[in-house]
Amino acid sequence: MSANSAEPGPTAEPGPTAGSGPTAEPGPTAGSGPTAEPRLTVVLVKAGKTKIRYPATLVADDGNRITVRAPWAAPGVRDFGFIRFEPGDVFTEHYWRDAWFAVKEVRSGAGVLKGWYCDITRPAEIQDGALLVEDLDLDLWVSADRSAVLRLDEDEFEESGLAGRDPAAAREAVRALDGLERMARAEGLAGLLSGPSERACEDDQLT
């Protein structure tokens, strides 16, 4: 996930940043003791290198869709022009083992929906307590009222050279972005997140 290079604002990551590196500390929602909720470390990889890692609470895993929740824990506000992320924001993140995207619902600390940030990625994997996701540069932002549906970082995608290195993956990435955009404009993304996980790959909007 990366900031929109066409928009004003910093180029920092617009996702939860509770920590980085192998010594990352749990965010403020971390549990403790025998009743602690299950935890995963989300590891975002780009071009073969770890871009960011942060702890998250495992909300659900039905064998296909994996849902985790993590707080925005960066020290201060980050304004990306189309959205502001700030302390107290909560990201509920949905990943699929068989789909080329992740959808992250963003709410304020008061529970007000801000919108959905969608990463185009390879299908997710869980290994040794880590949720591994490879970022393919393309992103989509959908505001809570769906008045803004923005395709992001298409220039970074072109510059990445993925189309030359792995044409099949590049086609899947563009297909996923196009499908999510169509769904966001036609009916919104809420149904994708609340319905059966199989819908991520079977819905006509995403084919």
pLDDT digits (tens, 9 = 90+) for 128-177: 999 999 999 999 999 999 999 999 999 999 999 999 999 999 999 999 99
* pLDDT at 195 exceeding the cut of 70: no
- On whether the pTM is more than 0.85, the answer is no
* pLDDT at 82 exceeding the cut of 60: yes
* pLDDT at 8 exceeding the cut of 70: no
User: pLDDT tier at 14 (50, 70, 90 boundaries)?
Assistant: low
Q: What does the pLDDT read at residue 18?
A: 43
Exposed, middle or buried: residue 48 (CB in 10 Å: 0-12, 13-18, 19+)?
exposed
Mean pLDDT of the chain: 83
